[in-house]
Structures are given as C-alpha cells and as structure tokens.
Amino acid sequence: MARPRKAVPGVDPNLLIRDAANLLPAQSRRLFMRGIVSVGALAALTGCDIIDGDTSEKALRVVSNFNDWVQARLFNPHTLAPTYSESDVTRPFPFNGFYSEDEAPVIDGDKYRLEVGGLIDNKKPWTLPDLYKLPEVSQITRLVCVEGWSVIGSWQGVRLSDFLQIVGADTRAKYVWFQCAEGYSNTIDMPTALHPQTQLTLKFDHKVLPTIYGFPVRIRIPTKLGFKNPKYVTAMWVQNNDAGGYWENQGYNWFSGL
C-alpha cells in the first residue's frame, strides 16, 4: 500500500517552487521549465523531499538547499529581478511579520531618526524630511515569502547604492546590517546592497509607507526572499562582520536569493 503523503503545515511545495522559479532570471527560469519544476525534481536536486517532510523545519532545509544550489550556479550581482506593470500589483498587499498585524510597531515620524554607523564617513542621523528629499526611484517587483506565497508591490525610495555613496560608506566592507524597531534585524552582503534594484524604501504605491508595510523605512531587495527585506528600519551599519538576522539565526538560509 502506498505510504500516505503528509503535507507540511503552512507550506505548499508546488507554490514554493513556482514562486522561487518566478524570482529567477530568464535563463534559469527556462532551466526550470525544462523539467525540474516538480516536487520530485526539487527532492532530487536538494536530496530532501518536501512532501514527505512532516515539519516546517524540513521544508525550510529544502528551500535552503535549493537556494544554495541556485547561488552556486546562478549568482551574478548584476542579475535583475523581473519587473511588472501597475495592473499586476497585488491589492490589498498583505502584511507579514513574526507577530500579528495589530502588533506592528507604530513609529512617530517626527521623532524618527535613521541611524547610520560603522564604516561610514558621515554618521549624522537622518530625519524623514531629509530622506524624502533624496532622488527617488520606483519599482514594481515580486516579494516571495518562504511560507509559499508571493505578491507584487509598487515601491518608491532611494537606491541603496546612492544612499551608501551619500553617507560615504566604505563599499569595500563585506556587509550591511539593519536594525528594526521591534527587534527584527538582517544582514546583507555588499554586492546585494549595491545591486541596482536594492532600495531604501519610503513609499508604497507612491504614498508614504503605511505602518503595516514598514513605516517609515524598509529595505526592498527583489533579488532576495521576503525575510531579507527588513521593515521599520531604525539603523544601518556598514561592517565586516556578519551580524546575522532574526530568521537567519534560527536556521534560514542566509543568502536566500539570486
């Protein structure tokens, strides 16, 4: 008799694969379409079968191995994530966090300062009016969560590479670390920080970020999974040591992207 196949709670393996494939550049997406877009193939690729897994930890390990596979073969700091049109934007755009929506931190915009530190020449903290004066770029890109869903959003803000230049960051440093108002944190590698689509995001849909989407500052990285996109950012440090992050420290794959 066939062994009953258990689903991993909260994770649809087919969605995970489809969403991950969506994040890939054209040439690797074609690779997927040629036959490895299946749960079985993912199992072969990563040595781990999501469907038979009975814990979400196992599913995370599979996704993590999958990311390592993508990283080893496809990482190129210049690869662009796909962009979409206004009509593709997911409305309403969902909230996600390690707590429920009504517990999202409410930040006083008048008192807010973005601290910048570490290997940076000008450590003056930034007020919101000063941040809003910086040159604005816009993107409509997909946010992919490891939980197995993805959504398309419209984000405006300053290119992070421009901001790093303005504050006189030493871009030979290895990492940029972000601290968030509610205890979340995240570290990204410098090539990702300098990627042309990595954005210090101040607006959603051309309007100041609402609380649930990370007011007043989030970092939008369309080449990385959702959890590498910190919201409610209060401090940014340029440094050579890897300070980890909220989920990374609990076993999520650090790289988690293209």
Which residues contribute to the site for ligand MTE (CB under 6 A)? 94-98, 143, 145, 180, 182, 184, 213, 226-227, 229-232
227 is an interface residue for Mo ion by CB under 5 A:
yes
Contact partner at residue 216 from ligand MTE, Mo ion, none, CB < 5 to 8 Å by partner kind = none
The phi-psi region of residue 232 (left if phi > 0; otherwise alpha if psi is between -120 and 50; otherwise beta) is left
What the block records as the tokens of 154 is: 């419209």
Q: How far apart are CA 230 and CA 222, in angstroms?
A: 12
Q: Which is nearer to ligand MTE, 9 or 47 (CB)?
A: 9
Supply the minimum distance, in Å, between the C-beta of residue 225 and ligand MTE: 7
Q: Residues 226, 230, 245, 257: which binds Mo ion (CB under 5 A)?
A: 226
Tell me which H or E stretch contains 20. Answer: helix 13-23
* DSSP-derived pairing of the beta strands 149-159 and 199-204: antiparallel
| Cβ distance to ligand MTE smaller for residue 83 or 211 | 211
Closest CA to 86 of 138, 136, 132, 23: 138
**For residue 205, which of 92, 80, 81 has the smallest C-alpha distance?**
92
Least distance in Å: CB of 118 to ligand MTE? 19
What is the nearest approach in angstroms of Mo ion to the Cβ of residue 80? 21
Residues binding Mo ion: what is the number (CB under 5 A)?
3
232 is in the binding site of which of Mo ion, ligand MTE, none (Cβ under 5 to 8 A by kind)? Answer: ligand MTE
Sign, CA dihedral 41-47-52-55, equals negative
Paired tokens of 199: 């954005």
Told to check if 184 binds Mo ion by CB under 5 A, we report: no
Residue among 252, 111, 102 at smallest CA distance from 186: 252
Between 69 and 98, name the residue whose CB sits nearer to ligand MTE: 98
Among 74, 119, 145, 212, binds Mo ion (CB under 5 A): 145
Judged by beta carbon distances under 5 to 8 A according to partner kind, the member of Mo ion, ligand MTE, none in contact with residue 230 is: ligand MTE
With CB under 5 to 8 Å by kind, the binding choice for 184 among Mo ion, ligand MTE, none is: ligand MTE
Q: Which is nearer to ligand MTE, 88 or 182 (CB)?
A: 182
41 Cβ partners below 8 Å, 6+ apart? Answer: 35
Please, which residue, 28 or 211, has the CB nearer to ligand MTE?
Answer: 211
d(C-alpha 171, C-alpha 59), whole Å: 35
Q: Residue 216 or 226: which CB sits closer to Mo ion?
A: 226
Side-chain-side CA neighbours of 243 within 13 Å: the count stands at: 16
Binding site for Mo ion (CB under 5 A): 145, 226-227
